[in-house]
Structure 1
Amino acid sequence: MGNRKEYIGTVVSNKMDKTVVVMVERLVQHPLYKKYIKRRKKFMAHDEHNECEIGDRVLIEETRPLSRHKRWRVKKILERAPKLEPVVEEDQVEGS
């Protein structure tokens, strides 16, 4: 059981119930030009308690097929996405 694949990625969607879409970026060297290129892939991962938010860095682990597209599970949330304050423009302030 110790030879399951693991990837670190960023949550890009959490609109589904108990499922998140995780974008994994990796650097691959071009075979001819030897320049490193970013390659991205999206994985659907199982999030049992719906605790992932968009922008979170997560560790996902390979598992048995859970549905048609889900073969990964969120193992751990490594870093939470920063909470953004709502922007209030001066025109919207009451009493103006």
Structure 2
Amino acid sequence: MSERGHRKTQLGVVVSDKMEKTVVVKVDRLVKHQLYNKYIKRSVKYKVHDEQNVCKVGDRVQIIECRPLSKDKRWSLKQIIESIS
């Protein structure tokens, strides 16, 4: 079985699980301000494919880049790191 090329992974927190087989994951990152050298928190929300509907709001998850699955979904769930139960 051939291995796929290098695919990006991200860590984030599930903020919505209201859709079928889809969760919304918020990924935070720190960016250094060019002039003031202060770190600013930036975030982005990704729609992530969750085949078994196992993620709940508040879970910390690892997501992996995949082929486009719909208009907005380009990420897939790799693993749940910390579950809120």
| TM-score interval for Structure 1 and Structure 2 normalised by the shorter chain | over 0.9
1:25-44 superposed matches below 5 A? 25-44=28-47
2:16 — aligned with what?
A: 13
Unaligned residue ranges in structure 1 (runs of 5+): 84-96
Report SS of the residue matched to 1:53: coil
TM-score for the superposition, normalised by structure 1: 0.83
1:94 — aligned with what?
A: none
Instruction: Tell me the alpha carbon deviations over residues 19-77 of structure 1, each in whole angstroms, 9 at most, x when there is no partner.
Output: 00000000010111110000010000000000000000000000000000000001000
Relative contact order (alpha carbons < 8 A, sep ≥ 6): 1 or 2 greater?
2
Does 2:27 match 1:24?
A: yes
Which portions of structure 1, spanning 4 or more consecutive aligned residues, are displaced by more than 4 angstroms? none
Q: By percentage of residues, which structure has more strand?
A: 2
What CA distance in whole angstroms lies between the structure 1 residues aligned with 2:62 and 2:42?
18
Kindly name which structure, 1 or 2, has the bigger radius of gyration based on alpha carbons.
1
TM-score for the superposition, normalised by structure 2: 0.93
1:56 — aligned with what?
A: 59
Question: RMSD of the alignment, in Å?
Answer: 0.8
